[in-house]
Structure 1
Amino acid sequence: MQRNDFVDYLDQYNVLSPNHSKIYDEYTYEDDELSKYAFSIETNIEEYLIEIFKENPRSIILSGNAGDGKTRLCRRVFNSLTSVEMQSWSSEGIVDVTCLNNQIIIVKDLSELSENKIQSILMDLEISIKEKKNKYYLIAANEGKLTQALTQEGMDYLQEKVRKRFESHINNDQELGIINLQDVTSSVYAERIIKEWTKKEYWNQCESCPLSQDCIIFHNYEKLKEPKIQKKLVNQYRTLDYLSEHITMREMLIHLAYTITGSLKCDDIYSEDMELRDAHFNKVYYENYYGASAINGQAEKIQALKALRTIDPGNYSFSTIDDFIINGDISGDPKLESEHFSLIDDSIDLQRGYFKNQLNMYRDHNEKITYEDISFWIYKLRRKLFFEANEELFAVEKLLPFEYIKDFKEIMSENKINEFKKMLVPSLNRSFSRKLIDPIFVKNLYAINETLLIKNTFKRGELILEIEPTREEIDHLPSKLILKIKGNEEIKLNINLAVFEYLMRLHGGGTHNILKNEVEILVDTFRNELMTLENEVGDDLEILKYDYLKGLYIESELSID
């Protein structure tokens, strides 16, 4: 039996495999026959940390979720400062390094230490900052554990410094910085992983395999190496960025390995169990990417799938594409018929023409083929078309659950802020009041309470709408808009794709209600904060009242006698 070692390497990310590696750092530096495939994802944050400790040292706390790569970064900093490859951590996970007459103490995970040890480290960190010693810390810490430890008596000074830096990275200074790895943009790393794992040299062994043309793993590689499909895969991760979904480095590796292999190995391809081999068509990349054919609890164990399933194009109908799947080859349009012939072929993912046979029987009203039989394929083929169809023929983004995703991307990439700002004020007014307001009175933003009393009014010129800044030091791409009030910029509304979609549907009269649970809490909190701002109180109260002739709410005044 011929096998590809690289497939075994990917199996270390299979969450159901006994070979599954538990943490990204251990996997990256594993010393066995598969280590030749090990790679370290290039990250700006790694370069940034090394530059800090070599050129302008200060203490740094790394926070983030388990799997974000905090331990790996600590190891990489150690290797760079000492020019020695770390073989293993000490029992406590603490190393002491001297670099350019500075003492640098690296703590790989604060939460693994005893309470007394944590207190000792934090007290020493505080003293080092106060006394400006040439002693600095790099600490990987869970935010909750760190915050709890700082509540102990005598830690007020450090507690306040940490609080401010968790509040915003702009409060980092030359004494202490906190870097939250949840701020890293997931799609940046997804692109680097996909490009690495589709390098031709990793798949050369498959070229001479007698079963390569019947291997769904090799089929997935052949597809994923195409730049067009790589771009679509990365764009789906970018959509998660726009939705404020953070996927850890570990979960990304697990998910993308599953996308390629579907948890299969070369042994499975050579299996003599024909029933199992026949089921491999369901392990095609576009099914794996969303966990559509996952079994045995795989989907629940791959955290990235929970987020990606919310944007699974297979679950959203678009009549043009659904009609193409069923009738594209008999449409009478030469371009559509050619595209249908190209996409819906005899490939392994379509069971070597099995779907085409079923489709012909269905169109001939064969009683053996039901709509349920065909609908299984429709879900599957929506996903296939989303990645592989000619986008000059189909607006495949219509298969995503967002009507305004194209507009959002244009604003983020082309800075079309002013166009959106015109729609923003009436949309927020409608959301705040839950009422339809006369267009004449939508030039200002109203902070309105439940009784339709206008507590505050903000002119359009007082509204600051901007794209969040890029943070190149940590691979952070702008992924949301920020609305602030001039002079009160601590009060803000973060407008990610979900909030944008909600507001645009409000403006266009669409079905905004399906997004209510997701965004209304954010919008209502913003409204409540606006109502707390001090405002000059005149002799009259401003309210919204219903105008029966117009069928809309208008601004009115109540005199206070």
Structure 2
Amino acid sequence: MYDESIQRAAKRAGISPLNFVHPYENELLALVQPNAAKATSIVLTGTAGDGKSRLCARLWDAVGGNQTSWYSSEIYHETTAEIAGKRRTVGVIRDLTALPEDGPYGDYADKQALLEAVSRAFLEDDPSTIYIVAANDGQLMDVWRRLGDSGAKTRALLEDALVDGRQSPPTVAFYNLSNVPCTQILTLALNALLQHPGWSAAYDEADPSGFFGPNCPIRRNFEILKEAKFQDRLTQLFKLMELAELHTPIRRVLLLLSNMLLGHPAAKNGLMLPSDVATFVHNGTAYKGDIYQNLFGANLSASRRDSLEVIEFLNRFGIGGEETTNRIDNILVFGPNDETLRAYYEDLVEKGMPADGLSRLRALRNQYLEHPESAQENDHEFLASLAAQRRKMFFTIPDDQVEDLRLWDLTVFRHAGQFLSDVMAPLSNGERVARSIVAQLVRGLNRVFTGMLVSTDRELLIASGLAGSSTSTNQILQETVSVAPRKGEKIEIVLSKLPTLVVQLDETNRSYLPLNLIRFEFLMRVAGGALPGSFSRECHEDILAFKGGALLAAVSRIRPPEDEADLVFRLLTLNAEGEPSDEAIEVHYA
């Protein structure tokens, strides 16, 4: 268990570990107070690193548990405390998966007997014993399945809370720590890190030619990390990870922050110790310990980088890869000598760059421009350095230049900025998403639904082919749905767990498309002219599946009976501008 290991290591080193109040902490502590409204057991679940052990420790401390016992290797701990006006036994299973089969555990002979007692307590209205159980989400259900009939009712209760997200009953408080937004965790961890008293001591004891001196990369990284602009851009990336349905637990956030501050490719394990700094300053390689590169794991081996989920998530944005614009690359290559670009270069590239790094960059650039023939198959070191410079520019471009320099074109998700500003921002403030954004998404849907370059965005065209809804070109128009409210029809975006596009045919007939980052990017690109299969085949299939549901909803809409028994098709055609029209084709029965 990481928390116990960290606490022991901090105690040995005589330093204060990072500490912040978890978003669920105060609510949890209120459940084990003498004046609590009701005695309830507690289940803490989530992925590894979400903070379950830490919260168990806080709860154990709150009920007066023995600290020496807690820091032993035992998994099950038991004490008594006054909770909800009555003295009760409190049992804590701080890691359900690690709990051995053999006991004893308090009055229970083995794991089976203990878990059967836990199951009974979860269903009791006023239990004499409450249990606090921590387990990773998948393993929680596996353990209760193995209990068989004796745990069937509790298993159903847990499944409702975990899988279906239903409210847990009053006899057990269920907390899925993975539901805490990673942006919230990032903010808490950043504040705890930056406000740690150890930084003041580092400044006071700085070595002029070594650790925390003026040329120390750790100090430089710390000062960049304190900048509001850097934090804002980092938070945007974390918000986009949430919108891509990528969860980042506390442990991974702390690991990332450590790597950002301490990373250096020449250090042991890629992380600097204070004693390393003087050597790197002396040999002119301190610049390699750069926060803009460490954020994406450039200080680590490829295998190590790929094994760290949070860094792998960040690299999915493609920042520093092939994503760029001609203007950005012109600034990077010709900026120092071009009067129209020089101010950009000085402010976005040179500013804040350490002297050793700046000297090397100038030498590489001059060598490349003077002898371009030396670059064989784009393998010149200067061209390789452009990736690092683009990464820095992503964080240094000011907000008032985001549109001008097309910041988000430095990423794979060119419409990510729009997703944040034009979709998430208004929805989070209780406002409507602008109809122009909805219209663009509808145009993208129309092009996927029909397989044609439709330009209309005023209504959704639900079409199929003669062989069904999954053919490449679909010219049989089944239904249209107005974007603007009309006779019960409308298309809008609402905020659920994700922003969700709602296609309403009438008051009781709706289809829903959750918009994660990839789906939004896909539809915006298709609306702009990209081929549906060129960005994400999986996303294309998701949209076709949504179309199938919308088609079923359309044909089930109650319509007045037709007077004629003949079959009528509505055949879609496009004019030169891509505007659709439909022609009725009647099939007469002989």
For normalisation by structure 1, the TM-score amounts to 0.81
User: What's the counterpart of residue 64 of structure 1?
Assistant: 46
The structure that has the greater radius of gyration is: 2
Contact 1:41 1:189 in 2 (8 A): no
User: What's the counterpart of residue 333 of structure 2?
Assistant: 326
Unaligned runs of 5+ in 2: 103-109, 264-270
In structure 2, relative to structure 1, the CA distance for the partners of 1:531 and 1:88 (3 Å cut) is farther
Structure 2 residue 126 is matched with structure 1 residue 107 = no
User: What's the counterpart of residue 59 of structure 2?
Assistant: 77
Matches within 5 A, 1:183-202: 183-199=179-195, 201-202=197-198
Matches within 5 A, 1:84-123: 85=67, 87-88=70-71, 91-100=74-83, 101=86, 102-114=88-100, 119-123=112-116
Alignment-mate amino acid for residue 105 of structure 1 = G
User: What's the counterpart of residue 143 of structure 1?
Assistant: 137
| CA displacement, residues 513-535 of structure 1 (integer Å, 9 cap, x when unaligned) | 34323423433443444455555
Q: Determine helix, strand or coil for the equivalent of 1:171.
A: coil
In structure 2, relative to structure 1, the CA distance for the partners of 1:272 and 1:303 (3 Å cut) is closer
In structure 2, relative to structure 1, the CA distance for the partners of 1:233 and 1:489 (3 Å cut) is farther
Unaligned runs of 5+ in 1: 1-21, 470-477
Contact 1:430 1:506 in 2 (8 A): yes
Task: Pick one of 343, 354, 360 that aligns with 1:338.
Answer: 343
Q: Determine helix, strand or coil for the equivalent of 2:530.
A: coil
Answer with 528-537 or 482-491: which moved more: 482-491
Structure-2 separation of matches of 1:391 and 1:441: 32
| CA displacement, residues 443-473 of structure 1 (integer Å, 9 cap, x when unaligned) | 465687225567777665456755435xxxx
TM-superposed deviation, 1:324: 0.8
Task: Pick one of 362, 375, 379 that aligns with 2:383.
Answer: 375
Structure 2 residue 386 is matched with structure 1 residue 407 = no
Contact 1:408 1:500 in 2 (8 A): yes
User: What's the counterpart of residue 16 of structure 1?
Assistant: none
Structure-1 separation of matches of 2:296 and 2:90: 43
User: What's the counterpart of residue 175 of structure 1?
Assistant: 171
In structure 2, relative to structure 1, the CA distance for the partners of 1:168 and 1:548 (3 Å cut) is closer
Alignment-mate amino acid for residue 72 of structure 1 = R
Q: Determine helix, strand or coil for the equivalent of 2:300.
A: coil
Give the length in aligned residue pairs.
528
Compute the RMSD of aligned alpha carbons: 3.6
Task: Pick one of 125, 128, 146 that aligns with 1:132.
Answer: 125
In structure 2, relative to structure 1, the CA distance for the partners of 1:222 and 1:145 (3 Å cut) is closer
Greater helix proportion: 1
Matches within 5 A, 1:152-171: 152-171=148-167
In structure 2, relative to structure 1, the CA distance for the partners of 1:404 and 1:37 (3 Å cut) is same
Structure-2 separation of matches of 1:349 and 1:299: 28
Structure-2 separation of matches of 1:504 and 1:489: 26
Task: Pick one of 18, 29, 46 that aligns with 1:39.
Answer: 18
Structure-1 separation of matches of 2:7 and 2:307: 21
Structure-2 separation of matches of 1:462 and 1:137: 51
User: What's the counterpart of residue 267 of structure 2?
Assistant: none
Contact 2:253 2:310 in 1 (8 A): yes
Q: Determine helix, strand or coil for the equivalent of 2:30.
A: helix
User: What's the counterpart of residue 210 of structure 1?
Assistant: 208
Alignment-mate amino acid for residue 251 of structure 2 = R
User: What's the counterpart of residue 268 of structure 2?
Assistant: none
TM-superposed deviation, 1:255: 1.3
Structure-1 separation of matches of 2:552 and 2:160: 23
Structure-2 separation of matches of 1:382 and 1:271: 28
| CA displacement, residues 251-271 of structure 1 (integer Å, 9 cap, x when unaligned) | 111111001100111222234
Structure-1 separation of matches of 2:223 and 2:281: 25
Answer with 100-109 or 459-468: which moved more: 459-468
Structure-2 separation of matches of 1:154 and 1:489: 42
In structure 2, relative to structure 1, the CA distance for the partners of 1:349 and 1:121 (3 Å cut) is farther
Q: Determine helix, strand or coil for the equivalent of 1:392.
A: helix
User: What's the counterpart of residue 496 of structure 1?
Assistant: 516
For normalisation by structure 2, the TM-score amounts to 0.78
Task: Pick one of 298, 301, 305 that aligns with 1:299.
Answer: 305
| CA displacement, residues 186-232 of structure 1 (integer Å, 9 cap, x when unaligned) | 12221222233234742345443122233222221222222222222
Contact 1:444 1:457 in 2 (8 A): yes
TM-superposed deviation, 1:432: 3.7
